Structure 1
Amino acid sequence: AFRVFTDAMGSWWPLEGFSEGEKPVDVRLEPRVGGRLYEVGEDGSESDWGEIRAWDPPTRVMFSWHPGHAADRSTEVEVTFAPERSGTRVDLEHRGWEVYGEEAAEMRGEYVEGWEFVLSQYVEKANAA
Structure 2
Amino acid sequence: MIGHGVPGLDIRQDHEFVATAAAVFAALTIGLDAWWPVSLRLTGQGGHMHLEPELGAKLTELGPGGSGVIWGVVDAIDPDRRIYIQGWFGVRGVVAGRVHFDLEPSPSGCRLKLVHQAIGPVPEDQNTRYRQMWREILDGALRRYLTGTAV
Matches within 5 A, 1:1-129: 1-16=24-39, 18-66=40-88, 67=90, 73-96=95-118, 99-101=119-121, 103=122, 105-119=124-138, 120-128=140-148
The answer to whether the 8 A contact 1:49-1:68 is kept is no
The answer to whether the 8 A contact 1:20-1:68 is kept is no
Q: Secondary structure at the match of 1:43?
A: helix
Task: Return closer, same or farther for 1:68/1:115 CA change in 2, 3 Å cut-off.
Answer: closer
Shift of 1:105: 2.5
- Structure 1 unpaired stretches of 5+: none
Shift of 1:22: 2.9
TM-score, normalised to structure 1, is: 0.83
Relative contact order higher in (CA < 8 Å, ≥ 6 apart)? 2
Over the matched positions of the two proteins, sequence identity in percent amounts to 24
How many equivalent pairs are there? 124
- Structure 2 unpaired stretches of 5+: 1-23
Matches of 2:123 and 2:87 in 1, distance apart? 14
Q: What is the one-letter code of the residue matched to 1:108? A: N
Q: CA RMSD in A?
A: 2.2
Matches of 1:100 and 1:77 in 2, distance apart? 15
